[in-house]
Amino acid sequence: MKVLSVVGARPNFVKIAPLLREMATRPQIESVLVHTGQHYDARMSDGFFEALAIPAPDYNLAVGSASHGRQTAEVMTRLEPVLESVQPDIVLVVGDVNSTLAAALVAVKQGIRVGHVEAGLRSFDRSMPEEINRLATDAIADDLFASEESAVLNLAREGVPAERVHFVGNVMIDALRLTRPLWQASRVFGNLGLDQIPRYGAVTLHRPANVDDPRRLSQILGALHEVARRVPLIFPVHPRVRTALTGADVTWLSASQPVPERGIVCTEPLGYLDFVALVSRAAVVLTDSGGIQEETTILGVPCLTLRENTERPATVTQGTNRVIGIARSRIVDAAIYALAHPPARRAAPPLWDGYAAARIIDTLLGVRVEVAA
């Protein structure tokens, strides 16, 4: 079986790593990897390939940054001849980025079976580009691999036949578990001077709804400043946000200066292992990312999601996540509460056990017994 996997943006790399590793152990599978080039900076792309031991892609489409329409179209235009020449039996797409949808569209139009990993998640907020990517990809994919029970229910509600939906667990958690010895050995604490700091919080922001509107960003930064009077907040800055932070009251970490004991402390984007290490010892995480809600659930770190909704409700009902929006008082109150009340340890959500990739590949090969949601 020839499996062609498509990745494009940072979270895709984390999700594909355990799948590629699993495929490499199955002699029946020939694996081909395509990188669309949606993310291209070394810190957003190559560093992840290295940290996660992902082999160099067989094809790099080098689409780069552009508007949503153009970027999606470029991936489609450049992927089409690759699929024609490789003729895979299945195209595997992961997550909810523009590259995910573009690849799924090109493949189904060539009559190639499409597997979507992380299918069925729904925020029910169509203003999020990812929600459109999720809805459209799931509508055309043949095999829908669900990471949590809510996704199975969403797909059933949308009328997807049950035999196309496979509840397999969470490949992002496979990656977290597989790399545990590596991120536990990360030198990020010494490198950032955090070994001198008793407690810190971690921040990530990159959702267009939060960072593209200067008023909303400044409201969030105002609240973070309030929290940062209690603990320093380490903020690895996504390139999308960098310019928007010009003139903001934040400190950029420099090698010559120790981490201040208070305030918002910005760094360049971190690699996967350093970032997971940073999160694993944080007293609180404030984020608008999807994947980080899941990672904090497994790491037992309180997570405050600066959005009005989550497509990953298992992180709230069975994890450490609270969805709190961006009102200043809610952010500050929730952070103070989280700092004072570390969450009790809980069992992981079902099938977040490190074996999701094995279940997906078993399903592709037709050797898997279904697990009921």
Chain positions contacting ligand UD1, by CB under 6 A: 9-11, 38-41, 44, 65, 96-98, 129-130, 206, 238-240
Distance CA 236, CA 202 (A): 8
Using an 8 Å Cβ cutoff, are 331 and 220 in contact? Answer: yes
CA atoms in the 13 A half-sphere facing the CB of 301: 26
The least distance separating ligand UD1 from the CB of residue 133, rounded to whole angstroms, comes to 6
Q: Residue 122 — left, alpha, or beta (φ > 0 → left; ψ -120 to 50 → alpha)?
A: beta
Distance CA 104, CA 70 (A): 16
Nearer to ligand UD1, 74 or 143 (CB): 74
The least distance separating ligand UD1 from the CB of residue 272, rounded to whole angstroms, comes to 12
Nearest to 205 by CA among 216, 194, 197: 216
Nearer to ligand UD1, 72 or 150 (CB): 72
The least distance separating ligand UD1 from the CB of residue 6, rounded to whole angstroms, comes to 13
Helical pair 98-109 and 68-86, crossing angle rounded to 10 deg: 40
The least distance separating ligand UD1 from the CB of residue 62, rounded to whole angstroms, comes to 11
In the three-class reduction of DSSP (H, G, I as helix; E, B as strand; rest coil), residue 43 is classed as coil
The least distance separating ligand UD1 from the CB of residue 339, rounded to whole angstroms, comes to 27
Give 162's DSSP letter.
G
Distance CA 312, CA 230 (A): 29
The least distance separating ligand UD1 from the CB of residue 130, rounded to whole angstroms, comes to 5
Catalytic site includes residue 206:
yes
Nearer to ligand UD1, 41 or 268 (CB): 41
Nearer to ligand UD1, 11 or 354 (CB): 11
Order across the sheet with 90-94: list the strands.
Answer: 59-60, 30-35, 2-7, 90-94, 113-119, 143-146, 165-167
Nearer to ligand UD1, 201 or 236 (CB): 236
Question: How far is residue 338 CA from its own chain's centroid?
Answer: 23
Rg for the chain, CA atoms, rounded: 20
Q: What is the DSSP string of 305-355?
A: E-SS--S-THHHHSSSEEE--S-HHHHHHHHHHHHHSPPPP-PPPTT-SS-
Nearer to ligand UD1, 38 or 320 (CB): 38
Among 116, 206, 238, 341, the one annotated catalytic: 206
Residues forming the active site = 206
